[in-house]
Amino acid sequence: MVVACLAMLMVLVFWGTLYQVRFGLFAAQEKFFYSWIFLQFGWIPLPGAQLVLAILFVNLVASMLFRFRFGWRQTGIILIHLGLMLLLAGGWYTHQFGEESFLALVEGEGSNVSSDYRMWELSLSKSNEVEREITAFDTRGTSAGTIFRAESYGLEIEAGIYHSNCRAFQGGESSNTVNASNITGFQPAERNKVPEEDVPGMICTVRDRAGGEADLLLFGGDPGPTLLETADGPVYFQLRRKRHPLPIFIHLVDFDRTYHTGSSTAKSFESRIEVHVGEVVREVLVEMNKPLRFQGYTFFQASFQPLESGAELSQFAVTRNFGRLIPYFATGFTVVGLAVHFLMPMARRRK
Amino acid sequence: MRRCPVVLLAALAGCSKSDPEPRTYHEVTLRVEQPALDSGGPAAPGTGPATPGMTGSVPTADVGLSWIAPEGWEERPGSGMRLATFLAGGSECTISSFPGDVGGLRANVDRWLGPGQLGADTTGEDVSNFIVAADRFSTKGGLSGVFLDFTGLTGDGKSMLAAVLKKDDASVFVKLMGPREVLEQERDKFLALAKSLE
């Protein structure tokens, strides 16, 4: 069974590698590695990596429970099996509960939220100040007729049209929708190979508790929120990348980069940031391969972009993974298990 | 057993999609007012800010320019610093203007060739020679400009054609970025567009 599972994993890696060349990394991951069953060539049902790994895990547990005779002589084998089981369990845990997002800041800017790469949200707030309370709805699965109920705002928002990826237009025939960027319409577009590049659009009807009604056009590329006067006061609406609240406020003080002499190849880039935790402020230098770690979050220096204004934008990849140490423990178990397994017979022979 | 379909329907109804649940959080986002990015449009992670609250006023791009759109190119209206966008052979061509010299020609060429954009592996000497050898031209309206064909510096993948012009105190950029084949095919139309500026 183990050999069959490992062989299937090899096949999946091979197919996945070929598939991602044409359809992109995300599509390959979804089809071959995050699936239980998938259709190869459109009609042959085959097990995905999730199913194969689950079988491998169950097989390891079963072999330990029913085939092993527990004793000192089996210590090595048991440790190896425990290590492998821990590795598989850790992979599952990271996949299920890990979060990946990014934080893009221009020098002088700061934030306590990071943005999701793929997920979007409909956000509502009563102000557009630096500090504000947000009520947000995930837009995954939104379609015509989806109702977003924001009771604290006295609003009901009904999606009329929702496109996961679209192109927006200004000008032309004026529509009766409200939009902050004077966008008058959008057209659905094919999903990108890289889902991060998709930009959604939504036309929705907002109803307040006084019976007022307005049609909003929200586009993921809107540079700012759209303001609407409702019975309960002004409300700012925005379709934007889903935000993940962080336990700290990060303020980008300075971004610096150096190039290899005589070329435009980056040698290093680093961000000097202030980390605010409550009233406590400390300065940290985040460099390539030297991330900031805090309460299960890791902030990596991911990329940068010089702006036309002369300022620089620094982007951090933000991961939240409480299981990041599991692979180290798992590998440790396996290495110790292998050592014990091979050294014990040698020691016995010497005696 | 007759009740099975009823039970099944009830179960399915129970599983039907429910309305999205709201979540609330406290957001503190300090933004520095920036002119709209040259790249324009929605920002993808890794390439742009994707900022939540870029609510600052966007400086107007109106520097009193007009142009003639090449035949076969689809023109779309601009916004912010972007005066116009054209779809050319599946790639995007933009005309944008910025106050001042935006760091000068050399700084802009370095930035375009840098890792965030074309990612070309060039030396400082290559860039100097490239700028010296670039074609100079005049537009219909008497503006002087430099035409930069980056296809000679980049590999077979993505490359760029750019024209940098001065209009009073502003810098005007005409840029077409896309696959090398598209750039070669659209090169004459690109030059015609740049030369039509007045």
pLDDT tens per residue across span A264-319: 566 778 999 999 988 788 999 999 889 999 988 999 998 887 776 777 889 999 99
Domain count for chain A, please give it: 3
Q: Are residues A307 and A337 in the same domain?
A: no
In this structure, of B91-100, B120-129, B151-160, B162-171, the range with the lowest mean pLDDT score is B91-100
Same domain, A173 and A232: yes
Q: Are residues A230 and A127 in the same domain?
A: yes
B47 near B39, Cβ under 8 Å? yes
Query: Which of A146, A240, A264 lies closest to B120 in CB terms?
Result: A264
Same domain, A88 and A191: no
A158 shares a domain with A69:
no
Residue of B nearest to A227 (CA): B55
Residues A232, A293, single domain; the answer is no
Q: Do residues A196 and A231 both lie within one domain?
A: yes
Place B78 in a pLDDT band, splitting at 50, 70 and 90.
low
Q: Are strands B23-30 and A110-125 parallel, antiparallel or unpaired?
A: antiparallel
Share of chain B above pLDDT 70, in %: 68
Let me know whether A64 and A137 are in one domain. Answer: no
Q: Verify that A166 and A277 share a domain, yes or no.
A: no
**Tokens 């290093």 identify what position?**
A268
Q: What is the CA radius of gyration of chain B?
A: 24
CA distance B96 to A308: 11
3 state DSSP class of A119:
strand
Q: Do A263 and B48 touch (CB under 8 A)?
A: no
Q: Are residues A344 and A270 in the same domain?
A: no
Residue A264 is predicted with a pLDDT of 54
Looking at A242, A264, A289, the residue that finishes a domain is A242
Which residues in chain B are closer than 8 Å to A146, comparing Cβ atoms? 19-20
Quote the domain boundaries for residue A134.
Answer: 119-242
Residues A316, A254 within the same domain? yes
Q: Are residues A125 and A236 in the same domain?
A: yes
ipTM of the complex: 0.80
Are the C-beta atoms of A244 and A113 separated by less than 8 Å? Answer: yes
Distances from the Cα of A119 to the Cα of A115, A241, B106, angstroms: 9, 6, 39
Contacts of A150 in chain B (CB under 8 A): 22
Cα of A105 to nearest chain B Cα, Å: 7
User: Can you spell out the DSSP letters for A3-68?
Assistant: HHHHHHHHHHHHHHHHHHHHH-HHHHIIIIIS-SEEEETTTEEEE-HHHHHHHHHHHHHHIIIII-
DSSP state letters, B77-97: E--TTEEEEEEETTEEEEEEE
Q: Is the pLDDT of residue B56 over 50?
A: no
What is this structure's pTM?
A: 0.60
More confident residue, B13 or B121: B121
Q: Which of A242, A274, A293 is a domain's end point?
A: A242
Q: Which of A177, A210, A242 is the last residue of a domain?
A: A242
pLDDT higher at A244 or A350: A244
Q: How far is A44 from chain B (nearest CA, A)?
A: 28
